[in-house]
């Protein structure tokens, strides 16, 4: 696997964890929140697995159907795309 792609995935997943935890912190404190569309975008850009795990660990957005169905769907689509690209390249 391309090291640049691995570096990108590491960074986007780190961003995903930080932004999800930050949004939870803002929710607790009653501060301005991260837009749901931003969370979904970060997930779609490659941070879906870490975002889903983080959401489960910190119990954030777990009552929202958009996140509990949407992010696993994004994960499945990302793995399908990765498999298709990987089999095409090889």
Which H or E run includes 7? helix 3-29
At 60 the three-state DSSP class reads coil
Backbone angles phi, psi at 38, to 5 degrees: -70, -40
* pTM for this entry: 0.91
Whole-angstrom distance, CA of residue 7 vs CA of residue 71: 22
Q: What is the pLDDT of residues 21-56, one digit of tens each?
A: 999 999 999 999 999 999 999 999 999 999 999 999
Query: In whole angstroms, how far apart are CA 36 and each of 50, 68, 84?
Result: 16, 13, 29
Mean pLDDT across the stretch 54-65?
A: 97
């Amino acid at each position: 696997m391309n090291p640049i792609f691995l570096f990108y995935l590491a960074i986007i997943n780190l961003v995903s964890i930080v932004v999800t935890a930050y949004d939870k912190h803002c929710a607790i404190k009653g501060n301005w929140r991260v837009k749901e569309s931003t969370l979904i975008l970060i997930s779609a850009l490659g941070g879906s697995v870490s975002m889903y795990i983080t959401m489960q660990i910190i119990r954030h957005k777990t009552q929202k159907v958009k996140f509990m169905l949407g992010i696993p769907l994004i994960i499945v689509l990302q793995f399908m795309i990765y498999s298709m690209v990987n089999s095409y390249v090889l």
